[in-house]
Each structure stands twice: as structure tokens, then as C-alpha cells.
Amino acid sequence: MAAYTSTVLWERRDAPFLEQRYSRAHRWRFDGGLDVPASASAAHVPAGTADPAGVDPEEAFVAALSSCHMLFFLSLASRRGIIVERYQDEAEGRLTRDPQGRESMTQVVLRPRVRYAPGRNGALPDLDLQAALHHEAHALCYLANSVRTEVRVEPVDEEPAAPR
């Protein structure tokens, strides 16, 4: 099986940490060299501490589910001789309370809008075939199958920072 890694990096700088005024901006780094600005959602932290240009974890969660579904959908369509010209998804996640009363992403709605070209048989897929492709893509999506996955935390000790 495959393993996937990312590095999340945050540094305090000169922010007043104990007063909760520190920046929530941080970086996501991936093995291919991509470095993505990230931040907490402004809806969940004190004003002025989030970076609106950064991707927040909730947005990334929704985008990851949407991307996974799309990639399986494209693969399935291609194997069946269906030509997809464009795929756009205005996905939305809902952060609410779960049955245990914890804040949780309780629903993600994918709204794919797909443009087709005539396929191998010269026709466009009918609505039943389109629905079947989306159903199968959803069933195959690793992330949709993992939403309630185990998350373990294994801290690694580090030397304390030198006083400033």
C-alpha cells in the first residue's frame, strides 16, 4: 500500500501567544515541492489572526473529497468511452454539531457540473449513465470511504527554543 506525507509548519515570530493574538497563518508543504499558504478559518479565531489568502483545513477537506470523486469519475468515464470536456464542482461542507455534540463536518455536498463531447459511440451519456458514473465514483473514492478514519497523534519531543 502507498503512504502519503505532508509537512505543516507554523512559527510564532513576535506575536503575543498567551493572549491568543498569534497569527494562524502557516504553510503546507508536499513532496513534489508545492508550498501552500494555509490558515485557520476566520470564522473560528480572533479577528485579524487568520490569513484570508490561506487555505483553511475545512476548505481543504471539502476540496480533497471533491477532487477524489472527480478523479474516479474521469477514470470511469474514460474507460467507458465517454469524453469529458470540462468538470467543475461547487462543493460545500457543513460544519455543525454531530450526535455527540462535537463540532464536525457533518455533511459535504458535491455539485459536479460536467460537459461532455460525443464519445466512441457518437452519443452523449444519458442521465441514468451519468448518475451511475457518479454513484460508482463515490463508492470508489478513498477519501469518501475514509471520513471516519482513525487519526492517531504521536508527538515527537523537540528541544525547547532558546529564550528571545
Q: How many CB atoms lie within 10 A of CB 50?
A: 19
DSSP string, 65-88: HHHHHHHHHHHHHHHTTPEEEEEE
Res 160 pLDDT > 80: no
For a pLDDT cut of 70, what percent of the chain falls above it?
96
Which residue's C-alpha cell is 457518437? 122
Q: What is the DSSP secondary structure assignment for residue 49, as one 8-state letter? A: S
Domains and CATH numbers, the chain: 1-55 (no CATH), 56-149 (3.30.300.20)
Report the predicted TM-score, pTM, of the whole model to 2 decimal places: 0.89
pLDDT confidence bin for 93, thresholds 50/70/90: very high
How buried is residue 17: exposed, middle or buried, by Cβ count under 10 Å (0-12/13-18/19+)? Answer: exposed
Compute the mean pLDDT over every residue in the chain, rounded to the nearest whole number.
92
Instruction: Decide which of 148 and 23 is more confident.
Output: 23
Q: Taking residues 18-36, what's their average pLDDT? A: 94
pLDDT at 157: 77
How buried is residue 72: exposed, middle or buried, by Cβ count under 10 Å (0-12/13-18/19+)? Answer: buried
pLDDT at 162: 67
